[in-house]
């Protein structure tokens, strides 16, 4: 009996393993069949268009099988001259390509200082006497982190980073964005969502789906509670909740904006040499002070260049280290002689 029992037990285990292996092989075959067929890509047009005071926002259908397969959503923003794209954040990382125009972008990383501190160092143009005079008066250069961006830039925006964009040029800014919905940082559903700190989708003339995608996070709170929490008049809170929403996702600035920021060459020198301030910590060194953009216009920095054919720029974590935390990369190519241009993201 004992021998028969052992034989039946061994036979059952063998059949169980064989069955599991067969199911595994079948699932692998099914997954192979269901893989993205990139050779069958087709051109797609935006399916949503949101009109705002400061410009337009267009979205591609994220339920289209191509975008579903890739796990991304595409968006195109057009910002008028002297317009401000209102502060917002999203639960998935985003790569932005500036197709046209220039401006300033401000980004606040979760867990990082919201201000930039200029300390006494080689990249500060002030003389030693001027610096010491400032220190005696307890004055130092402290301001929000603001970055100059221009045509051809690739900008990396991590998940949860609140950001805004201001067009200080004379022409429209055109920005193409890709959001990686499959990224591990996205703890919500596989639907693109953006949360605005001001503004929102106007109620008139806009699709209901757009209002579900772009939401003003302050609308759900009581205005009295918000006014007390932020120590501001209740009227200001109400404007943020209602009046600003009617202006849309971007607004025209009534007075031209200006910023206190380090000179561009000072920022680049500090990034190249990896200088740190006296108050930097591990998070500052590894993430908060990382470069967020790189330009793809200079042919000398192209990864592939041909005088007859064109150029190709590859943007990965070696060229833009912050992409290591986002698991994304990008590629931009210009093909001669008719200057056909293509742009792609990978994740």
Give the tens place of pLDDT for each residue, 106-145: 988 877 766 655 444 343 444 444 444 444 444 444 446 7
CA atoms of 145 and 288, how far apart (whole Å): 10
Residue 284 parent element (H or E)? none
Alpha-carbon distance 265 to 296, whole Å? 18
Under 8 Å CB-to-CB from 194, ≥6 apart: which residues? Answer: 88, 89, 90, 213, 214, 215
Q: What is the pLDDT of residue 134?
A: 47
Of 33-37, 224-228, 309-313, the poorest mean pLDDT is in: 33-37
Distance CA(157)–CA(322), nearest Å, equals: 9
Using alpha carbons, select from 234, 224, 190 the residue that is nearest to residue 67. 190
323 confidence band (pLDDT: 50, 70, 90): very high
Q: Give the whole-angstrom CA distance, residue 320 versus residue 290.
A: 9
Please give the DSSP secondary-structure letter assigned to residue 217.
T
Superfamily grouping for domain 38-346:
Jelly Rolls (2.60.120.10)
The model carries a pTM of 0.75
Give the range among 76-80, 203-207, 220-224 with minimum mean pLDDT: 203-207
Contact 106, 164 (CB under 8 A): yes
For 182-214, the pLDDT digits (tens) are: 998 888 788 899 999 888 888 766 667 788 889
Mean of per-residue pLDDT scores for the chain: 76
């Amino acid at each position: 009996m004992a021998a028969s029992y052992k034989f039946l037990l061994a036979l059952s285990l063998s059949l169980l393993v064989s069955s599991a292996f067969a199911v595994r092989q079948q699932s692998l075959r099914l997954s192979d069949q269901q893989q993205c067929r990139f050779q069958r890509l087709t051109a797609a047009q935006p399916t949503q268009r949101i009109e705002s005071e400061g410009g337009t926002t267009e979205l591609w259908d994220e339920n289209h099988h191509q975008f579903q397969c890739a796990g991304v959503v595409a968006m195109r923003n057009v910002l008028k001259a002297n317009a401000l794209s209102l502060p917002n954040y999203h639960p998935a990382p985003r790569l932005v390509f500036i197709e046209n125009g220039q401006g300033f972008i401000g980004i606040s990383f979760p867990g990082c200082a919201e201000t930039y501190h200029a300390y006494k160092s080689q990249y500060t143009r002030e003389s030693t006497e001027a610096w010491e005079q400032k220190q005696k008066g307890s004055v130092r250069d402290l301001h929000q982190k603001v970055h100059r961006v221009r045509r051809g830039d690739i900008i990396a925006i991590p998940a949860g980073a609140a950001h805004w964009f201001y067009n200080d040029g004379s022409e429209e800014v055109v920005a193409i964005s890709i959001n990686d919905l499959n990224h591990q940082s996205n703890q919500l559903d596989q639907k693109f969502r953006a949360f605005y700190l001001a503004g929102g989708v106007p109620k008139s003339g806009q699709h209901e789906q757009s209002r579900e995608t772009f939401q003003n996070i302050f609308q759900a709170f009581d205005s009295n509670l918000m006014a007390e929490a932020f120590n501001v008049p209740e009227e200001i809170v109400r404007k943020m909740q209602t009046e600003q929403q009617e202006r849309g996702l971007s607004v025209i600035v009534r007075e031209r904006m200006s910023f206190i920021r380090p000179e561009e060459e000072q920022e680049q020198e500090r990034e190249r040499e990896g200088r740190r301030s006296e108050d930097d910590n591990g998070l500052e060194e590894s993430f908060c002070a990382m470069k967020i953009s790189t330009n793809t216009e200079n042919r000398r920095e192209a990864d592939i260049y041909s005088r007859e054919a064109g150029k190709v720029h590859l943007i990965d974590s070696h060229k833009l280290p912050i992409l290591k935390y986002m698991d994304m990369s990008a590629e931009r190519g210009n093909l001669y002689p008719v200057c056909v241009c293509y742009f792609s993201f990978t994740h």
